[in-house]
Structure 1
Amino acid sequence: MRRISWAAGVAAVLVCAGGCGAQQGSRNAEQPLDPVPVSATGPALPLDSYMPSPDEQARSDRAQAVLERACLARFGLRWDGPGESALDIGRRMAASRQAERFGVVDPEQASRYGYQVPSWSTHNPRVGAILAARHVDVPPDVEKVLYGMTPEFGGERVPKDGCRAEAAGRLGRGAPEADRNLPARLAVQAVASTAEDPRLKPVLRAWKSCMERAGHDYASPKAASQDPLWKHHQAPSKTELTVAATDIRCQHEARYLPTLVTVTAQHQRRLMGPHTAELDRLQDQQEIRAENVTEALSTKPSHSTPAEGTWDGSG
């Protein structure tokens, strides 16, 4: 029985106490996925500092795995999972979220993928299929202790809700309670306000005029990216690549991205005002959690001998 599947992990909210990527072990040899380009995540916004960056998410997921393994070792169980691809899911999810919030604005992405989802993104069906194929069920004894499916194991009492919950508790130890989903909700509200902001109208007119001169009739970059002609294709057509490249050129000419970032940032700050106290608590929580993550990653791994019948992840 699988308590938490890879698919469920990918569908879950990115900010999760137990680590977004640390789900399953892998019996298969790891094959590297396309790397996430440095330019993909785009410009920063005020609310970003209240959400884990891709690198922070990766460290958190690795710390979660370290603490889970240490907990399991107390019961004579050795688990070498989760695999590298599982540990990378949270980082890729964070990068994918940041890369998509302004639409297609990166020249490199437009020239390679057009309006298609990049090959490194967790929103790419191919990436999801590859990651899902690499993951297997946790071995029975490990599963029982990892998820707290038994009150005791080997004569020792199992932590409430298992080693996974214990590890998550360790990473949050000493941190104040705070609404970790608040920044994402405010970000959504800021996007809606930005779409109605009159300061974008002259920019969109300039962009539309530029596109029309090139023979493309779209009301906005979003409309161009959502043209039905681009759907249901595994690879972008020459026409799509041409339109995407022109789109980026016109964005640059109209100063679309700088304006969009400035306006969005202002709306975010306005919305953050009434939530100063909650955001301060969230920042304190993140700082304490970061300290706990550093402590966990600096802990020497246990070299306990696996109990008979346990699995070491080697297949």
Structure 2
Amino acid sequence: MKAKLITLAVVVVALGGGIALASASSEPGSGPPAIGVVRAVRSGTDIVLPFDAYRHTPAEINVIERATAVLARDCLNRFGLHWAPPTVDAVDTSRPTAAGRYGIVDAAEVARLGYHAAEPPDRPSQPQPPLDVLMVYTGKGASDVGGQPVPEGGCLGEARRRLEEGLPAAMPGERFAELDRELYLTAQADERVQRAMTGWRECMAESGLRYADVWAANDDVRWSAPEPTPEEIATAKADLACRTRSGLAGTWLAVETAYQQRVISERRKEFDALATALHARLAHARQIVNR
């Protein structure tokens, strides 16, 4: 499996409410913000952004998903159906969620995998529930079972709604994800990142490797084989050396950090409400899991 452009969706859980989002480009301070110290990025753990404080961590998502499963089980019990919630975590917590945000950064992984993504650890499979359970769980079937109406979206839909009950209104998760990606693309187009990208391109050309940008190197169709080839690993090593020489990943992180910090500062009330909703959801989920 190839490394991907950006990993955002896994860490966003939808919130209730409907606060409208303006385009990042329409913010009062829409010029390029000043950046702080540019630090080296040598692994995915070095990629920490201001927005990270406003989304659930993978470990928190696992708690929320376990709580959702408990509520769904309670719903199924009303229909005389019995189901044990999954025992396997919904999200892998072994790898930093932003590890591939700027492409390859880890020398040890590059030497072993080239541009291929690290495979997640093996996880035990969960048995598929019987069809009568699955129908009520998902809501994809009869609208009435045993004289009881099936909730909209099935027991899973009911569970997700119950988990959100009483939470304060805040920026919806989908809107947050849109803003996150918009600022990511704005940072990528920033002159300072593009200068570093030019330095990377010139460095690669010295080795006879000519790519328009780092994503063109990452997505070269020659790297589509199930396993990395010696040529892929050699190219990825040269690529990473050029990223290091040009300071690309560190510059990119510093620039995106500045854009995110500015938006948080200018929209403090929205982000404070988002943080409050996150904490309330997690507390509710923990109560359900521990009851």
What TM-score does the superposition give when structure 2 sets the normalisation length? Answer: 0.72
What residue identity is the alignment partner of 1:105? V
Query: For residues 174 and 138 of structure 1, what CA distance do their matches in structure 2 show?
Result: 31
Gap regions ≥5 residues in structure 2:
1-8, 16-42
Q: Does structure 1 residue 175 correspond to structure 2 residue 152?
A: no
| Cα displacement (A) at 1:274 | 5.1
After superposition, the CA RMSD in angstroms is 3.3
Query: For residues 209 and 50 of structure 1, what CA distance do their matches in structure 2 show?
Result: 37
| Cα displacement (A) at 1:244 | 0.8
Q: Deviations 1:260-314 (Å, cap 9, x if unpaired)?
A: 1000111223344554333332222111001011111212xxxxxxxxxxxxxxx
Q: Deviations 1:234-266 (Å, cap 9, x if unpaired)?
A: 111101101111222222222222111000111
Tell me the residue number matched to 1:204.
Answer: 197
Q: Which has the higher contact order (CA 8 A, sep 6+)?
A: 2
Secondary structure of the corresponding residue to residue 233 of structure 1: coil
Tell me the residue number matched to 2:254.
Answer: 262
Change in 2 beyond 3 A, CA 1:144/1:201: closer
Query: For residues 286 and 66 of structure 2, what CA distance do their matches in structure 1 show?
Result: 10
Number of corresponding residues: 252
1:46–1:269 CA contact under 8 A, matched in 2: yes
Change in 2 beyond 3 A, CA 1:272/1:214: same
Change in 2 beyond 3 A, CA 1:195/1:150: closer
Gap regions ≥5 residues in structure 1:
1-12, 19-38, 122-126, 300-315
1:236 to 220, 224, 228: 228
Query: For residues 254 and 205 of structure 2, what CA distance do their matches in structure 1 show?
Result: 26
2:70–2:85 CA contact under 8 A, matched in 1: no
Query: For residues 150 and 229 of structure 1, what CA distance do their matches in structure 2 show?
Result: 50
1:246 to 233, 238, 243: 238
Change in 2 beyond 3 A, CA 1:41/1:151: farther
Q: Deviations 1:94-138 (Å, cap 9, x if unpaired)?
A: 9686232211122232122211233229xxxxx9xx99xx57753
| Cα displacement (A) at 1:74 | 4.6
1:211–1:217 CA contact under 8 A, matched in 2: yes
Change in 2 beyond 3 A, CA 1:203/1:73: same
Query: For residues 147 and 218 of structure 1, what CA distance do their matches in structure 2 show?
Result: 46
1:190–1:271 CA contact under 8 A, matched in 2: no
What residue identity is the alignment partner of 2:249? L
What TM-score does the superposition give when structure 1 sets the normalisation length? Answer: 0.67
Tell me the residue number matched to 2:49.
Answer: 45
| Cα displacement (A) at 1:64 | 1.3
| Cα displacement (A) at 1:180 | 1.3
Tell me the residue number matched to 1:113.
Answer: 113
Secondary structure of the corresponding residue to residue 99 of structure 1: coil
Q: Deviations 1:12-63 (Å, cap 9, x if unpaired)?
A: x644559xxxxxxxxxxxxxxxxxxxx5465111122222222121221122
Q: Does structure 1 residue 187 correspond to structure 2 residue 191?
A: no
Tell me the residue number matched to 1:296.
Answer: 288
What residue identity is the alignment partner of 2:273? R
1:47–1:268 CA contact under 8 A, matched in 2: yes
Change in 2 beyond 3 A, CA 1:42/1:63: farther
